[in-house]
Structure 1
C-alpha cells in the first residue's frame, strides 16, 4: 500500500476513520477483500504471490496496515515479504508493543517498511528505517512511502481533506472518502521529494490516485469503527485505473482488544 490517512479518537461518532490506496503492478495476482478461509477472523485483501496483505482488521478489532518505504539511496535489505507483517499481527494474540518489539528484532529481514498496528482505541507506528516505535496521538495522521506524517504533497492533501470533512459532519459518507482518494492530479515538481526514481516517475507517483500503463492504484479501502464497535469495511477495486468491483462488510467487534 502506498497512501493512507486516518483519524483516531477525535470524531464524535467514529473512533476510527481510515482510507487507503494500494498501488501495485497491475499484473500482480490479488484477491479482493473478504474473510480468509484459512484465518476466518481476518478481513483483508490478499496478495497471491506471497499470501500476505497490506491492510486488514480481525473480528476482535485488531487493525494493521503497511506501506513500503521508498528511498533508492538506501541499500536493499532482507528477502521476507512485508505483507506477512500485517497478517502476522492480525493472527497473533500479542499486544502492539510486544509485536513491534519482536518485529524490531527481525527488522533486517525486510526491505524498508512502515507499519501501523493496534485497534480503534490506540495505534502504534514502526518503521524499520527509523527503527523506533511511536504511540500515535489522537487526531488525524497520514502515511505514504516516507515516515508517518512526512509532509509529501499528497499526504498533506489527504490529511487536510479528511480532517476538514470529519470536522464538518457527524455522519460520514463513505462516497466522500472514496472521492478524496481518487484524485489523480499531479503535484508540481518543485514540491516533490527526491526518492531516487527520477523526475518523470516521481511526478507519476505524486498523485493520490495513480494510473499508468503497468502500475497504479489497485484498490481503495475505507474502514470505519464507531463508538459502539460497529465496523464498516468497503474496498473498491480498479482494473488499469478503471473501477471494477466493490466489497462491503459490516460486523460488530467481538471481545474488543486494544
Structure 2
C-alpha cells in the first residue's frame, strides 16, 4: 500500500480500524481481494500481486493481519526479494508479531525500503527498514505513507486526523475518507527525489493520476473487540474509474 491510517485499541468496539489506498501502475497484474484457496491457503484473505506473488494487505480467519508500504527512494538499487512477500510470510506462519519482526530486522536488507505492520489479537508491531528497530505500537491513531510512521506529509496527516475523528464511523464514511483527491501547495510537499510534477500527482490521498498510474484499490480492515472481522476492497482503473467492490466479513 502507499497510504494507511489505523486506529489501534482506541475503541470499545474495535481493536483495529485500518484504511488505506494502494497506488500502482495499472499495467501491473493484480488479483482482486479473495481467499487464497488455489494456493492451499484457505485461511488467508488478501489481494494478490500477480507479478511477484505477494500482497499489500491481508488478514487470516483467526485475526492475524499485515500491511506493507514502500519507502520512496528513487535511484536506489533494487533488492533481490519482493516487499509483497513480507505480509505473506507473516500471515502464512504462526510466529508472534514480535518474534517475526525481530527475525526480519536482521534480514531487512534483502528487500527494498519498506514499512511493515503485523499484528494479532494481542499486539501490533511496526518496522521501518531504514531504521531497523522493530517496535510495539501502543493504543493510538497513526498515519503511514512512503516515509516513516507519522511523517508530516500532508495526505498522511489528513488521513490520520480524519480517522481520529471518525474511528467508529460506518464503512461508507471511512472509505469516503480515502476518496479525497485534494491537492496541496508545492511548499507543503515532501522532497523525495522525484520530479515536482510527480510530487504533485502523488500528493492527494486518492491519486486519479493518469492512464498509467494511480490509486488502484481502497481498503477498510476492521477487527472487533469480539474478534469479528470485516475487509472491504474498492477497485479502480485508469483515471479513478470504479472497477468493482467486495465485502468479506465473519464473526
TM-score, structure 2 as length reference: 0.95
Q: Which runs of 5+ in 1 are unaligned?
A: 253-258
Q: In the alignment, what sits opposite 2:203?
A: 206
Q: In the alignment, what sits opposite 2:33?
A: 33
Q: In the alignment, what sits opposite 1:189?
A: 186
Q: In the alignment, what sits opposite 2:11?
A: 11
Hey, what's the Cα distance between the residues in 1 that align with 2:137 and 2:183? 29
Output one character per residue of 1:196-249: Cα deviation in whole Å (capped at 9) or x when no partner. 001110111110001222101000000111121111111010111111111111
Hey, what's the Cα distance between the residues in 1 that align with 2:101 and 2:16? 21
Hey, what's the Cα distance between the residues in 1 that align with 2:242 and 2:127? 32
Q: In the alignment, what sits opposite 2:250?
A: 251
Hey, what's the Cα distance between the residues in 2 that align with 1:131 and 1:231? 30
Q: In the alignment, what sits opposite 1:79?
A: 80
CA shift, 1:121, in A, is 3.5
Q: Is 2:60 aligned against 1:58?
A: yes
- Cα 1:120–1:161, aligned 2, differ >3 Å: closer, same or farther? farther
Hey, what's the Cα distance between the residues in 1 that align with 2:98 and 2:224? 24
CA shift, 1:71, in A, is 2.7
CA shift, 1:59, in A, is 1.0
SS in 2 for 1:190: helix
> Which of 42, 45, 65 is equivalent to 1:43?
45
Q: In the alignment, what sits opposite 1:115?
A: 116
Q: How does 1:99-178 map to 2 (within 5 A)?
A: 99-166=100-167, 172-178=169-175
Output one character per residue of 1:177-200: Cα deviation in whole Å (capped at 9) or x when no partner. 111001111111101110000111
Task: Check the 8 A contact 2:98/2:136 in 1, yes or no.
Answer: no
Give the length in aligned residue pairs.
247
CA shift, 1:77, in A, is 4.8
TM-score, structure 1 as length reference: 0.93
Task: Check the 8 A contact 2:97/2:123 in 1, yes or no.
Answer: no
SS in 2 for 1:208: coil
Hey, what's the Cα distance between the residues in 2 that align with 1:231 and 1:134? 25
Hey, what's the Cα distance between the residues in 2 that align with 1:120 and 1:21? 24
CA shift, 1:140, in A, is 0.3
